Homo-oligomer: A and B are copies of this chain.
Amino acid sequence: MTTKTIAVARDLLATNKQAAAAIRAELRARGILGVNLLSSPGSGKTALLEALADRFRGRLRLAVIEGDIETERDAERIRAKGVPAWQITTGGACHLEAKMIGEVLGRVPAAVDLLFIENVGNLVCPASYDLGEDLRLVLLSSPEGDDKPAKYPQAFLSADALVLTKSDLLPYLPFDPQRAAAEARRIKPGLRVFNVSALCGEGLEELAAYLVEALERVRSGRA
């Protein structure tokens, strides 16, 4: 990168950090847990949100901000679950920025417990952008391979927990969940890891309990 591009990148990240801090303060004041979901395209972010919508129905109120380069499809899938969803289409940009979340935040109803932000499918760029969330989940699906944490370290380093998805495909794949977890913990020691199948329901109870604990931390001012 040239000196000029480095300076522009630094300005962008500093501006983003300010906007993210304001969002975090607002979400905490409203007692909402913000959760940012990062992964490659097709790792199952939307499927996980659909499964969580089913699991939390009648217990917690969810809302979802969807980030995609094009199409409203993911927001439509979430709305079909009875959960309010707003689609941000970035029109080519490879990640969401805090400013984009700030523009939607006013439309999120007061009576929401968990606000999920599904980032653009990209295991690289979104890792550098704080969206004001209090919890960041990185997803890695079994077909992607257990060697990915070392190759895309920033996403795993910046995450609070790793969700290994599509565990129902494990019988057909060389993927080793323990190796994936160990690789991720080499980058971020102590990282929480969940083995989940949105299709079969495996691991959803543990993940849901983890989200509820995080919500309680926000509400008790311990986030």
- The residues of A with any CB-CB pair to B shorter than 8 Å are 1, 4-5, 8, 12, 40-42, 68-71, 73, 92-94, 120-125, 141, 143-145, 147-148, 150-154, 166, 169, 172-173
Contacts and interface: CB of A to CB of B under 8 A. Distances in A.
A166 B154 contact: no
A73 B42 contact: no
A70 B40 contact: no
Contact of A124 (B73, B122, B144, B151): B122
7 contacts: A40-B121, A69-B153, A121-B151, A122-B123, A124-B125, A141-B143, A169-B172
Where chain A touches its partner, the secondary structure class is loop
B122 A71 contact: no
A90 B71 CA distance: 30
Nearest to A47: B145
A41 B125 contact: no
A172 B173 CA distance: 11
